[in-house]
Homo-oligomer: A and B are copies of this chain.
Amino acid sequence: MKRNLLLTPGPTQVPPQLCEVLGRPIIHHRTPQFQENIKQVVEGLKEVFQTKNDIYILTSSGSGAMEAAVVNLLSPGDKAIAVDGGKFGERWVELCQTYKANTVVHKVQWGKAPTAAEIKSLLAAHPDTKAVFITLAETSTGVTPDVKAIGEAVKNTPAVLVVDAVSGLAVQEIKTDEWHCDVVVSGSHKGFMLPPGLAFVSASPKAIELINKCTSPRYYFDLRECKAAMAKIDTPFTPAIGVMIAMVESLNMIKKEGLNNMFARYAHLARAVRAGCAAIGLELFPDPACSTNVLTAVKVPAGIDGEKLTKTMRDTHGITFAGGQDHLKGKVIRMAHMGALDEYDILTGLACLEKVLHQMGHKFELGAALTAAQKVLNSKG
């Protein structure tokens, strides 16, 4: 009777209401019945994206939607600015380079965010830039940039702003239209509390203009075909029907709670986790000035093996945190607080973290993280 608690930055917990829908027999996708689903999903997504732009639905992981953004916006040789401050920024760089964009890589120290001023000066130095690629919640480091300010920096240039919101959407604020985000990509398995399988792409009129001019070959991820299909309330290829049907219920849950209440809940959980971690001597990895509420990345104390820590929590206690990636392997642990989680899940995660850290010899008073988190959880925030 071991728990199965996912405190990972994707996939996230699937709540019982959505498990129930996922367990129903599916229907055929080329029917008026399924079109009703597509309609509701697109309408619901527009509210979450806070956009009036087109939304396209792909059957892929989030990386598929990232590829769609690159191959539909950039022709070979086109100039792109890609911000690389972690694993997912690196993915933008790899995608741009793979598809032969003339890629200006803006390296940012892991744990720090790119600034609007940096983007502005890069755009001034490269006025022929077609697209700027950033990450809303860089889960490898726990960082979020000031997307609104970056949007201001990009909007009056010929470039489009492309935001990887795979991990951030429906967890932290992103105002697609107000912040001038031309393309925003996301997926079903983070803020939407569902298994991976569906990905979403929004495209502004400025982006659509670029998509129509783009000469890069594309087929499965061709957003022109998505647009044409969407006009008929259809998808170009067979969609992940099961996840699509469950998306209707996920979006209903989000609507019922209210976007702003959700953002506040995640922010509240994030504060509690950080207070808990601080109380047992775990230092936040990212610069606190730019940390995202999607997850908390903390440094593993000296002398503790971070990989063994997360492995024991998962394999012995059924509570899954994420470890560090690349050069942070073993040096950082990451506890996500997004998806179908409440304060008791957070306390459970911290209790398990205390238990295993204690067993591994880290010195602190048992209960200290719980107490600190509990105080925040019961404050007005």
Contacts and interface: CB of A to CB of B under 8 A. Distances in A.
Interface string A217-234: 111110000000000000
Interface residues of A, number: 51
B22 A94 contact: no
A378 interface: no
Contacts of A366: none
A138 to B, nearest CB: 16
Contacts of A27: 4, 6, 320
Contacts of A219: 63, 67, 94-95, 98-99
A197 B242 contact: yes
Interface in A310-350: 314-315, 320
A189 interface: yes
A127 interface: no
A24 B11 CA distance: 14
A100 interface: yes
A92 to B, nearest CB: 11
A13 interface: yes
Interface in A150-192: 187, 189
Contacts of A6: 26-28
Interface string A56-73: 000111111001000000
Nearest to A13: B25
Interface of A: 4, 6, 8, 10-11, 13-14, 19-20, 22-29, 31-32, 59-64, 67, 94-95, 98-100, 187, 189, 195-197, 217-221, 237-243, 314-315, 320
